Amino acid sequence: MKFCTHCGNTVILQIPEGDDRERFVCSSCEVIHYINPRVIVGCVPVFEGKVLLCKRAIEPRKNYWTLPAGFMENGETSLQGAARETWEEARAKVSNINLYRVFDVPYISQIYMFYRCDLDGGEHAAGPESLETGLFDESTVPWDNIAFPVISQTLKEFFSDAAAEQYPVRVSAIEHRPKR
C-alpha cells in the first residue's frame, strides 16, 4: 500500500500506539489501514453420491479442477457467498447447505470455508470462470489435476465421510506451502 484510501496522501509502515504489529498509517490524516485475511467460500455440491467439480478457466491453476469457490463479498454471509460462487462458477443451485470444512492458511493470509450441500436437480454448466463442469465419484475424480491442496484434502475427507455416513465439521491450519 502506498497511498491512503481516505485522503490520498502517502502511508508509512509503523506500529500504531496501543497496537502490537506494523500497520500502514497515513502520514497526514493518521488513518490506520488494516489488511486482514481474505475469506474464500465454496461448496461441496453432491448429487446421487457424486461431487460437482469445475475446470478452471482462469489463473491461478487454469485447466485444473476445483470445487466451486471464490472470494467472499462484503455484505454477504459465508453461506450466501458459497451458494453465489457455486452459481457463478457452475450455474448450479444448491440446498441443505451445512458447514463442512474450514482451513486457516496463514502463510497466504487466507481462510477457506466449504459447505456440504445438495446439488438441486443435478443441473450444472460452466460459468464464466469455468471451462467445464462435471459430477465425479471417488474413482473418477481427476486426482492428478486438482487445482489446490485444500480441494484434494476436502474431497478425500468427503468420500471417507460419505462411506461412514458421518460428516463432522473439521477445522485445521496449513502453516506452510505444500511441495508440488
pLDDT over 80 at 63, yes or no: yes
Category of 27 on φ-ψ map: left (φ > 0), alpha (ψ -120 to 50) or beta: alpha
For the segment 53-62, what is each residue's pLDDT rounded down to a tens digit?
999 999 999 9
CATH architecture, domain 38-173: Alpha-Beta Complex (3.90)
| Residue 151: band (very low, low, confident or very high) from pLDDT cuts 50, 70, 90 | very high
87-135 per-position pLDDT tens digit = 999 999 999 999 999 999 999 999 999 999 999 999 999 999 999 999 9
Model pTM?
0.88
- Looking at the chain, which residues constitute the CATH 3.90.79.10 domain(s)? 38-173
As its CATH architecture, domain 1-35 has: Single Sheet (2.20)
Write out the three cell numbers for 178: 505444500
Give per-residue pLDDT as tens, 1-51: 999 999 999 999 999 999 999 999 999 999 999 888 999 999 999 999 999
Residues of the chain with CATH 2.20.70.10: 1-35
Which residue in this structure is represented by grid cell 447447505?
A: 97
Q: Is the pLDDT of residue 178 over 90?
A: no
Which phi-psi region, left, alpha or beta, contains residue 121 (left: φ > 0; alpha: ψ -120 to 50)?
Answer: left
pLDDT at residue 180 in the model: 61
